[in-house]
């Protein structure tokens, strides 16, 4: 099983980035575990999520054009 840890920073909830990532993982029959989630308290505050993604397929390239990229993401492939 392949696994990767990623971090997301920015407006990841109201821009639907986080739900899109969840959906992409489900579409590929993968699993995820949210390790940390901090939600901004005002409209100008950024949110932060750290998560582990697991699946039978190899992890996608670090800059997969099918996933949103308008916020900061980091991939810690393992």
Which has the higher per-residue pLDDT, 68 or 36? 36
Question: What is the model's pLDDT at position 56?
Answer: 87
pLDDT in tens, 21-51: 999 999 999 999 999 999 999 999 999 999 9
CB 20 within 8 A of CB 70: no
In degrees and rounded to multiples of 5, residue 25 shows phi and psi of -65, -45
Q: How far apart are CA 34 and CA 19, in angstroms?
A: 12
Q: Could you tell me the CATH superfamily of domain 2-77?
A: LOR/SDH bifunctional enzyme, conserved domain (3.30.70.2690)
- Among all chains, which residue has been given the structure tokens 């990532």? 21
Within 10 angstroms of residue 76's Cβ, the number of other Cβ atoms is 11
């Amino acid at each position: 099983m392949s696994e990767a840890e990623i971090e997301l920073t920015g407006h990841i909830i109201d821009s639907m980035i986080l739900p899109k990532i969840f959906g992409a993982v489900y579409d590929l029959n993968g699993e995820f575990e949210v390790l940390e989630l901090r939600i901004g308290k005002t409209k100008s505050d950024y949110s932060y999520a750290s998560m582990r993604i697991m699946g039978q397929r190899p992890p996608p390239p670090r800059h997969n054009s099918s996933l949103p990229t308008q916020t900061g993401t980091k991939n810690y492939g393992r």
